[in-house]
Amino acid sequence: MTDSRGSTEYDVVVVGAGPVGENVADRARAGGLSAAIVESELVGGECSYWACMPSKALLRPVTARADARKVPGLRQAVQGPLDTAAVLAHRDEYTSHWKDDGQVDWLDSIGADLYRGHGRLSGRRTVTVTDPDGESRVLTARHAVAVCTGSRAVVPDTPGLADARPWTSREATSAKAAPGRLVVVGGGVVGVEMATAWQALGSQVTLLVRGGGLLPKMEPFAGELVAAALTEAGADVRTGATVVSVERGTGPVTVVLEGGERIEADEILVATGRAPRTEDIGLETVGLEPGSWLSVDDSCRVEGFDWLYAVGDVNHRALLTHQGKYQARISGAAITARAQGVPLLETDRWGAHSATADHAAVSQVVFTDPEAASAGLTLAEAERAGHRATAVDFDMSGVAGAGLYADGYRGHARMIVDADREVLLGATFVGPGVSELLHSATVAVAGEVPIDRLWHAVPAYPTISEVWLRLLETYRG
């Protein structure tokens, strides 16, 4: 670990050493600026230890087995249960057993100084770090302070819930064994992914969704197909289910629903939303509200400030690791340009200082069985934005490559076309293996590729990518 105790002044001070903060520091160092980074937990952050990496390590065996069971000549060999202990051990390897030595070495390799402790803004361009021994040190930024503290799971104030020792996403991805019975509250990404994983790893899952369907931020068919697959896998999926109270002593937990039904389980996972980790980082010292999301411009500079940046989840633009890292690259380049006195408009090649993808081309994969993948706008979002939008749908079972991928392939594709400009505004795919289709959609949306040009992007036969040809044929009629 590098720790420049002889110097407390840097060009850039980054609060939060998750993947977003790491990338801000990296871009600042690449631009010739000095950088300090402050972390109160593990370097590498939520994604490395409690989110992206462990959750996908849990889910990959689930989807691989599901795919194999649909392949002739292989299905009989994979009818048994998953080796849960082996899956959890593999998960532990991908989290480096919750040790951050490798990430610390990487920070050292780029020349960023790491300060372990709790970082709080303490005035203009200053951050006070309190280390685990209670000692404090003030870091001063010549040019910028970047808040990259991420988000945390929200635990609703449902009577009895807080005292019931609920799981959040952290406990769900780091659990050492599969609970016999698991109640999952929430039908968003965390809820459906963890329901998928733990049902396959031996739990009896009950998924409770207050609204009318799963994955409410995606096209409706995505949630419908995922719900059907979870049900077939043995999970009890209930929509329109409102939890009114939770009870727990020293043993099982009891979930009480509106109407009086009681469901008993060994654990309860609450996956009902995220909140910014800004409640205790000194926002009040610079006139901002503790616990608030931070509004930023497209360079991720906080509105009303010339030195304060908020990057990643804390700005509430797109709560996804890859979008946060994208913002970090943008903001790091913008900080460097401003520090060097270079007008952004003169150096903004390829939009290097403007996070436009946050508005128009956000991509996301839900790693359930089947996978759900989307880029850009849904039909509802496009219409709300005032576009004259057309939805083009195709049943993916009609694609030759899909049938070869798996017997009885079930999936659906939709592209959203701007009828005035004839460019793609969005695309959604649901089905086994569709995550690898997504970047082509992201390129088409971000690049505003005309439909007439997409005709000449010829998909290889026989692959699932041939769905692009079928969508275009459907659009042309």
- Give per-residue pLDDT as tens, 62-103: 999 999 999 999 999 999 999 999 999 999 999 999 999 999
- Give per-residue pLDDT as tens, 35-48: 999 999 999 999 99
Name the CATH topology of 162-272: FAD/NAD(P)-binding domain (3.50.50)
Q: What is the per-residue pLDDT for 346?
A: 57
Query: Distance between CA atoms of 159 and 164, rounded to whole angstroms?
Result: 10
On the question of pLDDT at 166 being above 50, the answer is yes
Kindly give the interhelix angle for 19-30 and 321-339, rounded to the nearest 10 degrees: 30
* Residue extent(s) of CATH 3.50.50.60 domains in the chain: 9-44+100-152+276-357, 162-272
Output the pTM of the full model.
0.94
For 164-226, the three-class secondary structure string (H helix, E strand, C coil) is HCCECHHHHHHCCCCCCEEEEECCCHHHHHHHHHHHHCCCEEEEEECCCCCCCCCCHHHHHHH
- Give per-residue pLDDT as tens, 169-209: 999 999 999 999 999 999 999 999 999 999 999 999 999 99
Domain 370-476 coded CATH 3.30.390.30: yes
For 50-119, give the DSSP string.
Answer: HSHHHHHHHHHHHHHHHHHTTSTTTGGGG-S---HHHHHHHHHHHTGGG--HHHHHHHHHHTPEEEESEE
The one-letter amino acid code at 244 reads V
- Give per-residue pLDDT as tens, 218-240: 999 999 999 999 999 999 999 99
* Residue extent(s) of CATH 3.30.390.30 domains in the chain: 370-476
On the question of pLDDT at 300 being above 50, the answer is yes
Q: What percent of the chain has pLDDT over 70?
A: 97
- Give per-residue pLDDT as tens, 336-383: 999 998 877 655 555 678 898 999 899 999 999 999 999 999 999 999
What average pLDDT score do residues 429-435 get?
A: 97
What mean pLDDT value characterizes the chain?
95
Name the CATH topology of 9-44+100-152+276-357: FAD/NAD(P)-binding domain (3.50.50)
